[in-house]
Amino acid sequence: MPEGDTIFRVARTLHRELAGRVITRFESDFPSLNRVDVDHRLAGRTIESVTSLGKHVLMRFSGDLILHTHMKMRGVWRVSPAGGLPRRDPRARRIVIATAEAIAVGIDIPVAEILTTRELVRHKALAALGPDLLNDRFDPDEAARRMRARGRERIGDVLLNQRVVAGVGNVFRSEILFVAGVNPHLPVAEVSDDDLRRVIEAGRALLAANVTDRRRLLTTAVGRRTTRSLDPSVRLWVYGRSGKPCRRCGAPIAADTSGPDARVTYWCPSCQSRSTSGASR
């Protein structure tokens, strides 16, 4: 599933290619979008902006209409020069938005709706999102408060809850906790204030470090790295490395499943011991 860094890059690239330009063509296989297009024709409207909110993309059109999309596991947005289309099965093209200069295609997108500003504010799923780690107005105190409110839950599961903080997925969950030196199985109530602060700071830092510019390929994690190493084989600290030696201490990386979706968590039992006082920072 695309994580917050990927969705941020999606929105930034769509904004760069489309913002300020007039829609010349709109197509969709979502009946709800087509009904809006019939009643409030989208062709001829200006694309005002494209922004991300956690794992959601919001494309604003003139006339107070907002296209909200969520990629889930397989969705992807691609941008091509005007007149071009991605070489994919046409049945996978769920949304097509063209301007005189470029064409954006939503492929395999499972969730899409058009909202007004008023509907956006009242949107249950979007309004419930926690602070977005990549937002300039991110509030670390509010993030900590929301985490503390789930004191009995494991910190590794809490990080994936978009109502607590928005933008963390399974890769970053494991990497953030390794960098912070916190065991993913530790209940939030047993995480010290200092360690909770380190988790939040690591989350913000790691996502921010992975929003470097890419122009065309918009929803893959290719090139994502958390180690700061220039070696392409040393991109991540623990994710996907079960049984392999920790890059810091050499202990075997552990893995198990947790949470309602039984996602795999990776951690170093030595660097992320239950007491984190001796963990590397």
Q: What is the pLDDT of residues 53-72, one digit of tens each?
A: 988 999 999 999 999 999 88
The average pLDDT across 192-213 equals: 92
Q: 206 pLDDT exceeds 70?
A: yes
CA nearest to 120, candidates 66, 70, 45 = 66
Domains of the chain: 4-127 (3.20.190.10), 140-278 (1.10.8.50)
pLDDT score of 183: 97
pLDDT single digits (tens) 222-238: 568 899 887 888 999 99
- The band of 3, judged by pLDDT with boundaries at 50, 70 and 90, is confident
The answer to whether residue 3 is catalytic is yes
pLDDT score of 2: 74
For residues 146 and 241, what is the distance between their CA atoms, to the nearest angstrom?
A: 30
Out of 148, 150, 263, 269, pick the active-site residue: 263
Q: 221 pLDDT exceeds 70?
A: no
CA nearest to 115, candidates 65, 53, 165 = 65
For residues 6 and 207, what is the distance between their CA atoms, to the nearest angstrom?
A: 9
For residues 267 and 163, what is the distance between their CA atoms, to the nearest angstrom?
A: 24
**What pTM does this model have?**
0.85
Strands 65-70 and 76-81: unpaired
Q: 215 pLDDT exceeds 50?
A: no
For residues 223 and 235, what is the distance between their CA atoms, to the nearest angstrom?
A: 8
Q: Is 86 helix (H, G, I), strand (E, B) or coil?
A: coil
pLDDT score of 57: 96
Out of 9, 17, 55, 131, pick the active-site residue: 55
For residues 14 and 47, what is the distance between their CA atoms, to the nearest angstrom?
A: 10
Q: Is 272 helix (H, G, I), strand (E, B) or coil?
A: coil
Q: 18 pLDDT exceeds 70?
A: yes
pLDDT single digits (tens) 249-278: 999 999 998 767 778 999 999 999 854 443
The answer to whether residue 263 is catalytic is yes
Here the tokens at position 217 are 């390929």
